Chain A
Amino acid sequence: MTTLPPPSERKLGLVIDLDTCVGCHACVVSCKGWNTENYGAPLSDRNAYGAAPEGTFLNRVHTFEVTPETGPPQIVHFPKSCLHCDNAPCVTVCPTGASYKRADDGIVLVNEADCIGCGLCAWACPYGAREMDPLEQVMKKCTLCVDRIYNDALPPEDREPACVRTCPAGARHFGDLADPESAVSQLVAERGGFDLMPEQDTAPVNKYLPPRPRDQLASPALPDLAALCATPEDAPAGFVGWLDRALERL
């Protein structure tokens, strides 16, 4: 059923601390590893050893530069995966019922046997949390490691999502965000956790914790870091190139 269930009593999700994340991508690797070897179709790679490798991932780490009005820019590593929204637009658009939100814990999952690979759920998600696997031709997304968190065969300390278990900086937390007494809810309240794109009315379960303010040392003007990382444009050749250089010299 792709109609959304009534709000669940438990809302399992992640709290990601943007202050602590060091951008090591260990969560990306452990996620890919666990979800390739366990539940569902493996996350395929294409051209893995070629010139343009690419693959399917359920979790990716972006790195942003935030420049305040005054003071030096700040680097923020930003892991992004499915937010298991209460009002998930990816679920209601699904024509087959493959995409669904669990009524008991709020996890958003894809029943791969029912997925026709139309891609509409990925279009409906404003966060880019879903990727179509090019080999299996079914939609892949974060399962919140549903095959770990309820898995009695694993030792208790491993019954949390692979990304949380592996994070060396302790930047990822897993728990019940519907319970105000849970550790994750306390953390969100204490640190001012926020939603991504609240204006999209998706009501994400996952929360992000803001980076803490940096020391305000008198800092010299820094070079434009992002500009230094940019690929230089090819210098024009021929007459235009000559003209360009000639004008440069004037």
Chain B
Amino acid sequence: MHPAPSLILFTVLSGMGFGLLVWLGLGLRAPLGLAAFVMFALGYGLAGAGLVAAAFHLGHPERALKAFSQWRSSWLSREAVLAVVTLIVLAPHAAASVFFDQPLPIIGLLGALLALATIFATGMIYAQISAVPRWNHASTPFLFVIAALGGSAILAGLRELAIVLMVALAVAMVVHWWAGDQRAAQPGSDRGSATGLGVLGRVRLLEPPHSGQNYLLREMVHVVGRKHAMKLRALALGLGALLPLLILALPLGLAGLGLALFAHGVGILAQRWLFFAEAEHLVGLYYDSR
């Protein structure tokens, strides 16, 4: 799949924003006054920036409001609804923390659960697509959730929690790659079933339907970057989880948190880029490439 920068930024930024709102809602980080203002602004800002980045991906952003209507069937719609409901529900908790030094734990808890559900829905947008076998398994939404919670735990300065979550993230990444490799190796469909000609013999493309590019090839048969998959995986695992883990374990104070956050950010961007770049879509079967 084509790794669109808008989608990579959207999933990383909004994930970190909603992750931060989980911690703020649960009260694990319960700042008051100006500190609360900064933290909640960061949470709302990152979540909002992610949604704006996602809107840039749309062909018709002016119709984006329509995307709130189909939550019964569509994970993308559910994600949009959950995101906005989370931001609205947490607002009284945020306002009370900032202006009255009085957090509202029940509302905070409800908002935290909604924020968690939002991140899960983001993951499900990809996990539901059976035409992309590498995404179509249970570990995908959990990777999104753990990555978002891990990054935001560093951002919130929750050191112990961040250490645990970096370990979890390393495991989640490896499990996701392993499960993805399994599904990609046995996608259940091949050129024979795609054309229905497999019963007659070995099928291969003799002539493509068009000599140039098209939307399908650009969007779904994007092959650049796949050959560096192993290097990028090492980069994502090392910078995204293991190096932050090491830095957080050292007594480096605020500088350590900053350094860990920077490493994690670069690593998770690499992970997200690879998430799209190495995902093969079944339509590639019709083009003899995947």
B66 CB contacts on chain A under 8 angstroms: 95-98, 114, 116
Is there contact, CB below 8 Å, between A229 and B131?
Answer: no
B130 CB contacts on chain A under 8 angstroms: 89, 126, 200-201
Nearest-CB residue, chain B, relative to A225:
B206
The segment out of A69-77, A180-188, A233-241 that lies at the interface is A69-77
**Shortest CB–CB separation between residue B10 and chain A, in angstroms?**
11
Known: A123-B132, A196-B195, A208-B196. A93 touches B210 (CB 8 A): no
Partner among B194, B197, B208, B215 whose Cβ is within 8 Å of the Cβ of A66: B197
Is there contact, CB below 8 Å, between A66 and B203?
Answer: yes
Answer whether residue B129 sits at the interface, using C-beta atoms and an 8 A cutoff.
Answer: yes
Answer whether residue A203 sits at the interface, using C-beta atoms and an 8 A cutoff.
Answer: no
The segment out of B14-22, B74-82, B151-159 that lies at the interface is B74-82
Is there contact, CB below 8 Å, between B1 and A123?
Answer: yes
Is there contact, CB below 8 Å, between B201 and A95?
Answer: no
**Shortest CB–CB separation between residue B15 and chain A, in angstroms?**
18
Is there contact, CB below 8 Å, between A126 and B74?
Answer: no
What is the size category of the interface that chain A forms with chain B?
A: 35 or more
Is there contact, CB below 8 Å, between B59 and A66?
Answer: no
Nearest-CB residue, chain A, relative to B197:
A66
Is there contact, CB below 8 Å, between A62 and B204?
Answer: no
Known: A93-B128, A226-B206. A128 touches B283 (CB 8 A): yes
Is there contact, CB below 8 Å, between B74 and A94?
Answer: yes
The segment out of A53-61, A156-164, A170-178 that lies at the interface is A53-61
Is there contact, CB below 8 Å, between A118 and B209?
Answer: no
Answer whether residue A3 sits at the interface, using C-beta atoms and an 8 A cutoff.
Answer: yes
Is there contact, CB below 8 Å, between B70 and A229?
Answer: no
CA A74 to CA B204, docked complex, whole Å = 11
Judged by DSSP, the binding face of A is loop
**Shortest CB–CB separation between residue B165 and chain A, in angstroms?**
29
CA A1 to CA B220, docked complex, whole Å = 26
Q: Which of B227-267 contact A (CB under 8 A)?
A: none
Answer whether residue A30 sits at the interface, using C-beta atoms and an 8 A cutoff.
Answer: no
Is there contact, CB below 8 Å, between A210 and B197?
Answer: yes
Is there contact, CB below 8 Å, between B196 and A125?
Answer: no
Answer whether residue B193 sits at the interface, using C-beta atoms and an 8 A cutoff.
Answer: yes
Is there contact, CB below 8 Å, between B219 and A118?
Answer: no
Is there contact, CB below 8 Å, between A67 and B202?
Answer: yes
Is there contact, CB below 8 Å, between B200 and A66?
Answer: yes
Answer whether residue A165 sits at the interface, using C-beta atoms and an 8 A cutoff.
Answer: no
A52 CB contacts on chain B under 8 angstroms: 212-213
Q: Which of B130, B188, B197 is packed against the most chain A CB atoms within 10 Å?
A: B197
**Shortest CB–CB separation between residue B23 and chain A, in angstroms?**
28
CA A128 to CA B1, docked complex, whole Å = 13
CA A65 to CA B215, docked complex, whole Å = 24
B63 CB contacts on chain A under 8 angstroms: 96, 114-116
Is there contact, CB below 8 Å, between A198 and B193?
Answer: yes
A40 CB contacts on chain B under 8 angstroms: none
CA A225 to CA B207, docked complex, whole Å = 11
Is there contact, CB below 8 Å, between A197 and B203?
Answer: no
Nearest-CB residue, chain A, relative to B63:
A116
Is there contact, CB below 8 Å, between A75 and B206?
Answer: yes
Nearest-CB residue, chain B, relative to A91:
B73
Question: Which residues does B use to contact A, with CB under 8 Å?
Answer: 1, 57-61, 63-64, 66-70, 72-77, 80, 125, 128-132, 188-189, 191, 193-197, 199-210, 212-216, 219-220, 281-283, 286-287
Extra contacts besides A62-B205, A125-B131, A226-B206 (4): CB < 8 Å: A60-B209, A119-B57, A122-B216, A127-B286
Question: Which residues does A use to contact B, with CB under 8 Å?
Answer: 1-4, 18, 23, 28, 52-57, 60-69, 73-76, 78, 80, 89, 91-98, 114-120, 122-128, 131-132, 134, 136-138, 194-201, 208, 210-211, 225-226, 229
